[in-house]
Structure 1
Amino acid sequence: MNKVNYIGLTGKLITKDSIEYKESIKSWNRAIVRYPLVIVYCYNEEDVINAIKWARENHKEIRVRSGGHSYEGYSTGNDVIVIDVSEINKIHIDEEKGYVKIGGGVRNREVYENLGNKGYAFPGGGCPTVGVPGLILGGGWGYSCRYLGLASDSLIEAEIINYKGDKLIANKDENSDLFWAIMGSGGCNFGVVTSMTISLKKKVDMGSLIHVNYPNANNEIILEVILRLQEMFKSLDRRMNLKTAIYNSASKGQGVKFTGLFYGSAREAKEILSSILNISKEIEVNIEDKSILECNRWIQDSHPDYEKYKSTGRYVNRDYTKEEINRLIEIIRNPAEGFHYTAVSLYGLGGAIADINKFSTAYYYRDARFIMGIQSVWEEDEYASVNEEWVIKSFKLIKELTEGSFVNFPIDELSDYEKEYYGENLSKLRKIKAKYDPYNIFDYPQAINRKENIKVKDNESKRCYN
């Protein structure tokens, strides 16, 4: 067996012989176990450029990792080179010009803290260790999105290293088609993002944290909560957003709960939510005034450090009947063997998201009402396959009730995934893929395919393509 020559790579290299290899290959989803050939922790653009060139010269597939949160492990793989940008994590705030520039490895918590301490809101995600560029690439759902827009809607500019190792600037004036594409296309389809510039939102002081739980709820209570929720969202104040979960916990039992954020007072929030706070006497209510930063800290701290799970998400575009809601409840009533936690969740959409035309960015499903997520979490490896199969089986029902899939919540078993993720924006995305990555250097499971196959000279591609 020939020894791999890593000459040309810079940054910190982790190979299979490294003491740190076992720890470095871990994904946030601990159910994902892959064995890359080498992990390159990049500290600057030059490290990224060298990694891309090395991969081409050595005929190795590339994966790009920041927070390591890909549901299906698309930021890693077996015998690949993982370009890890987590060390490119500087944050520069320019209050005078109204923007913040972040490195390709910056994560949610870091941006919340840096902006929140200066009084600014940020339309980021809920989990603290998710990479913000990855969040933005897929559109970016969060508890502020109905008020401030998707995370991608704040993007001003991005710096991207392409397949040649050249640095591209993408904004509304320069490489504007690429700029359009990276706002909702997901993953690493066109190159490695080394920085993003995001517009600062207006300063905010106080808001309200919302956490309401109906523990031990029977079918009738859960049904009534969902019926009232979908009615309430038709005219819900855009300053508020909720994530609602029909859940089953091995330790706490079954119920329905919602977590949310409101850019207003707790008193006003309770008035808005009054219709879903009186369905049962057995209810836990925590709606309190906090700074927006404190609200986001609470939400982030509610996430575990890591999990073993399978999960995905689809778009809800209509009201559901009682019969359809009961079918969803029954899914959760019958979890997989060995489950730790399972849920069907509704992530609120609308508001500012729908203000932008679905063709204005790659993010297509702007008129959807919710993202419907499904997940099963387990702790013991012996139950992995049965829980994964349970999600796949349950997904078939959810697919019948929904239209289109959320690219930041991918699932391997999704057929015709490009159409499902991108809708009518697919054709344009394929053309942009062919333009900016004509040789599929950035190829991974569920990557965007080129519009047409291209014959490549060996001396240019350094790889063999069909």
Structure 2
Amino acid sequence: MDEHKETSCPKLTGRIVFPGEPGYNEARLDANFFTSKKRFPDLIVYCQNTRDVQNAIKWARFHDVPIRVRSGGHNHESFSTATGVIVIDVSEMKQLHVDKSKGVATVQPGVTGQELYSKLFEQGLTHVGGTCADVGISGLVLTGGMGPLLRRHGMTCDSLLYLEMVDANGRILHVTKNNEHKDLFWAACGGGGGNFGIVTSIVLKVYPAKPVTWFNIGWDWNQPVEEIIHAWQKFFLKADRRWFSHLDLWSRCFPSQRFQKLPLKALGVFWGTPEEARRELAPLLNTGRPVSTTIEMVGWDEAIELFGESTAVFTSSRPEYKSSGAFALRPLPPQAVRIIRETLQNTTSPLFNVLLFSLGGAAQDKSPADTAYFYREAEFFLLYNIEWLRGENADERICELETLRDRLLPFTEGDYLGNPDLCIDDYLTAYYGGNVPRLRHVKRKYDPGNVFHFEQSIPPAPDKWYQC
């Protein structure tokens, strides 16, 4: 018997949803309907406070029920739910306190990125968040966190100062960079949610929210697509830290009229005037013939909204899609750019998308070993996404996306943990690179019984690693 197994059954607390009860069918689903629609947990506990989390862990261990952890529910592969498990959901833990004088915010894990943006903006502040509005802030921190401030202030996890975590034995751990749990702090900065325990509170640095120049340069497919990709890469490889951008590439059969969006867009923010931005963006503005160009000063809150409005395309409230990704440590060469162009040009999928992130800047101020987030040296991140319409063959679409990812592997490395892909065999190396051994040691120390496990979780280090 596990020496830490509960010998008495604690009472479950919080808002508990069982199969057959009103709301269960909605509660069991994650954001990706495709990966969660056939998953039926035994129960879902919506925790209201840290005590609820402790009770749920202890209850699960007493009854030998596997645990899944969920905040925003945006894991693309739905690792935060499963059949025959208890889902410990912290999405209703939404307390938030801002200390403007100290430049910090104390946030519970149920607060979404957009909720935190909005509350901070009321005080003239912001955080190093992402651009998907309803992603839980704890999930963003624990996977590393990519967003428009990464080139100025680093990854989201680089703003982490403290976290409270409940471990596999139901104990509350207070974790900082310099205390006795500094190894766990390191692992939490990009080592993923649901691997070591359940986060119940975090403290983040916050920053002044200043107006910014928003730009969105759009082309149709009657343009030199490969030249556009090369020009964007060249510009953002050399751009200073005042710039952040996405290059948003949709298939040739993308229904632009339906969504009122162009299929090819270079968009982002610049901390400077629109006049400066227009001058510096000349290489992009002079590539092909842009159909639409917006370069204007906007408030920071509006810029965040524009990111979501410009890139998100869903045909229903329950989308079915496949997502994957890879890092480019150097600019994509002509052969790789040609593969992207040919794939998007020849596909019959209207919703096949490749979204490039400009990395670098402050994200590269730390080394790959400084945090569990490994890909510090990458210049770009490529996000592959394909959504299928009702009646389309999901397997064919998934194969199409994975084929593109495989064809680009000679020019890319790994994948981002916040964008998991079950088709990746060596997922540990793909997500964590050279940090895998250290992460497995941390796992062994804090969860030796592998209580927190799922399809692509971090396993504890094996006994043989400790033998002389």
TM-score, normalised with respect to structure 1: 0.92
How far, CA to CA, are the matches of 1:298 and 1:28 in structure 2?
21
1:325–1:382 CA distance, 2 compared to 1 (3 A): closer
Q: Over residues 147-187 of structure 1, what are the superposed CA-to-partner deviations in whole Å (9 max), with x where a residue is unaligned?
A: 12111100000000000000001101221000011001123
How far, CA to CA, are the matches of 2:134 and 2:320 in structure 1?
16
Aligned-pair CA distance for 1:442:
0.4
Equivalent pairs, count? 444
Aligned-pair CA distance for 1:70:
0.4
Q: Does 1:288 align with 2:306?
A: no
Aligned-pair CA distance for 1:352:
0.4
How far, CA to CA, are the matches of 1:398 and 1:227 in structure 2?
16
More displaced 10-residue stretch of structure 1: 262-271 or 307-316:
262-271
Q: Does 1:442 align with 2:447?
A: no
1:382–1:323 CA distance, 2 compared to 1 (3 A): closer
How far, CA to CA, are the matches of 1:217 and 1:370 in structure 2?
25
Q: Does 1:76 align with 2:81?
A: yes
Which of 144, 151, 173 is the aligned partner of 2:149?
Answer: 144
Structure 2 match to 1:460: none
Which of 188, 198, 203 is the aligned partner of 1:182?
Answer: 188
Aligned-pair CA distance for 1:306:
5.4
Structure 1 residue runs of 5 or longer lacking an equivalent are: 1-5, 455-466
Structure 1 match to 2:6: none
Q: Does 1:365 align with 2:369?
A: no
Q: Secondary structure at the match of 1:198?
A: strand
Structure 2 match to 1:399: 409
1:101–1:419 CA distance, 2 compared to 1 (3 A): same
More displaced 10-residue stretch of structure 1: 248-257 or 321-330:
248-257
RMSD of aligned Cα (Å): 1.8
How far, CA to CA, are the matches of 1:435 and 1:145 in structure 2?
31
How far, CA to CA, are the matches of 1:103 and 1:155 in structure 2?
13
Aligned-pair CA distance for 1:37:
1.1
How far, CA to CA, are the matches of 2:299 and 2:427 in structure 1?
40
Aligned-pair CA distance for 1:381:
5.3
The amino acid that maps onto 1:196 is I
Poorly superposed stretches of 4+, deviation over 6 Å: none
Structure 1 match to 2:59: 54
- Whether the aligned pair in 2 keeps the contact of 1:217 and 1:256 (CA below 8 Å) is no
Structure 2 match to 1:349: 359
Q: Secondary structure at the match of 2:216?
A: strand
1:296–1:306 CA distance, 2 compared to 1 (3 A): farther
- Whether the aligned pair in 2 keeps the contact of 1:144 and 1:261 (CA below 8 Å) is no
Structure 2 match to 1:194: 200
- Whether the aligned pair in 2 keeps the contact of 1:208 and 1:292 (CA below 8 Å) is no
The amino acid that maps onto 1:293 is D
Structure 2 match to 1:463: none
1:48–1:381 CA distance, 2 compared to 1 (3 A): farther
The amino acid that maps onto 1:267 is E
- Whether the aligned pair in 2 keeps the contact of 1:266 and 1:287 (CA below 8 Å) is yes
Q: Over residues 365-411 of structure 1, what are the superposed CA-to-partner deviations in whole Å (9 max), with x where a residue is unaligned?
A: 10100011111012315432221222222221122320121111110
The amino acid that maps onto 2:274 is A
How far, CA to CA, are the matches of 1:83 and 1:453 in structure 2?
30
How far, CA to CA, are the matches of 2:429 and 2:155 in structure 1?
21
How far, CA to CA, are the matches of 2:362 and 2:411 in structure 1?
24
Q: Does 1:118 align with 2:115?
A: no
1:306–1:235 CA distance, 2 compared to 1 (3 A): farther
Structure 2 residue runs of 5 or longer lacking an equivalent are: 1-8
Which of 335, 339, 357 is the aligned partner of 1:327?
Answer: 339
Q: Over residues 190-248 of structure 1, what are the superposed CA-to-partner deviations in whole Å (9 max), with x where a residue is unaligned?
A: 000111100122x2331022222111234xx1111111122112220212111112211
How far, CA to CA, are the matches of 1:301 and 1:62 in structure 2?
35
Q: Secondary structure at the match of 1:439?
A: coil
Which of 133, 144, 154 is the aligned partner of 2:159?
Answer: 154
Which of 220, 230, 233 is the aligned partner of 1:230?
Answer: 233
Aligned-pair CA distance for 1:323:
2.5
The amino acid that maps onto 1:184 is G
